[in-house]
Amino acid sequence: MTLCVALLGGSFDPVHNGHVALATLFATLLEPDQLRILPAGSPWQKSGLQARDADRIAMLRLAFAGAAATHPVTLDLQEIERGTPTYTIDTLRSVRAELGPDASIVFLMGSDQLQQLDSWREWRQLFELAHIGVAARPGFSMADAALPAAVASELTMRRGSLAQLRNTPSGRAYLAETLDVDISATQIRAALQRGEKANSLISPVVLDYIQQHNLYEI
Ligand SMILES: Nc1ncnc2c1ncn2[C@@H]1O[C@H](COP(=O)(O)OP(=O)(O)OP(=O)(O)O)[C@@H](O)[C@H]1O
Ligand SMILES: O=C(O)c1ccc[n+]([C@@H]2O[C@H](COP(=O)([O-])O)[C@@H](O)[C@H]2O)c1
């Protein structure tokens, strides 16, 4: 059977239940040999990260410890170690070189990123290296045609089944419209700054870590 690696990249500032839901949804759908979490080193479309790299990494380890009991989760720190602005195309080139031409690579994202995929560096070339697996975030529906025209037509051309993603190296897109988790890191940072606990949005062990290290305070 083809080796399949699913990648979830993100700022994870902080990691929250929406990230874990996205990763575990695709881990269940694809049954990849590896589910790699890739914290971005320097997400060039964001104005900066609030938590230090070491804290984001520690929170990721805590948040995914539960999922790691049932799915083959690993943390890949290459984007932090690279020390340059984070472009997914660079990461995919490196993962493809590592895994060889036949492995299935599936880059996971929420629908907000799909809606701006045409702003990513060399975005069309991403499909030469990987598939994409997209989960809807609240308010997103394919029927509303909420995508830039270039992304919509690329998606129409590349729509594939889970089996195609699982068993071929790259070039397909799969959209899971069922995930509907109304959580964002922005909302969590704002809640924590107001002194709220954000209990239902974030894992208790991550929340403990945030409190112990006085993260996201005003
Ligand atoms: N609730 C969610 N449901 C589905 N996908 C999500 C959800 N939250 C984040 N994602 C996806 O996870 C990836 C990493 O997201 P990121 O770390 O930027 O979190 P975020 O909550 O979107 O952060 P922020 O509010 O700071 O922009 C992105 O592809 C994003 O679309
Ligand atoms: O490659 C790009 O140009 C690019 C532009 C925006 C986002 N990304 C990637 O998309 C993932 C989610 O990004 P973010 O900003 O929502 O945390 C993360 O892995 C980013 O590196 C990548």
Angle between helices 53-63 and 204-212 (to 10 degrees): 150
Domain with 137, as residue range(s), is 4-184
pLDDT at 217: 83
* Residue 204 counted as domain residue: no
Within-domain flag for 84: yes
ipTM of the complex: 0.99
Q: pLDDT (tens digit, 9 = 90+) per residue, 122-181? A: 999 999 999 999 999 988 877 766 899 999 999 999 999 999 999 999 999 999 988 889
Residues with CB under 6 A from ligand 1: 10-13, 18-19, 22, 109-110, 112-113, 135, 137, 179, 181, 183-186
Please check whether residue 49 lies inside any domain of the structure. yes
Q: How many domains does the chain have?
A: 1
Q: What is the DSSP track for the chain?
A: ---EEEEEEE--TT--HHHHHHHHHHHHHH--SEEEEEE-SSBTTSS--SS-HHHHHHHHHHHTTTGGGTS-EEE--HHHHH-S-B-HHHHHHHHHHHH-TTSEEEEEEEHHHHTTGGGSTTGGGHHHH-EEEEEPPTT--GGGT-S-HHHHHHHHHHB--HHHHHHSSS--EEEE--------HHHHHHHHHTT---TTTS-HHHHHHHHHTTTT--
86-119 confidence digits (pLDDT tens): 999 999 999 999 999 999 999 999 999 999 999 9
208 — pLDDT class (breaks 50, 70, 90): very high
Note whether residue 191 is domain-resident: no
Spacing, Cα 148 to ligand 1 middle (Å) = 19
Residue 167 is assigned to a structural domain of this protein: yes
The model's confidence at residue 211, banded by pLDDT at 50, 70 and 90, is very high
Q: How far is the CA of 101 from the centre of ligand 1 (A)?
A: 29
The CATH number of whichever domain residue 56 belongs to comes to 3.40.50.620
Residue 215 resides in a domain: no
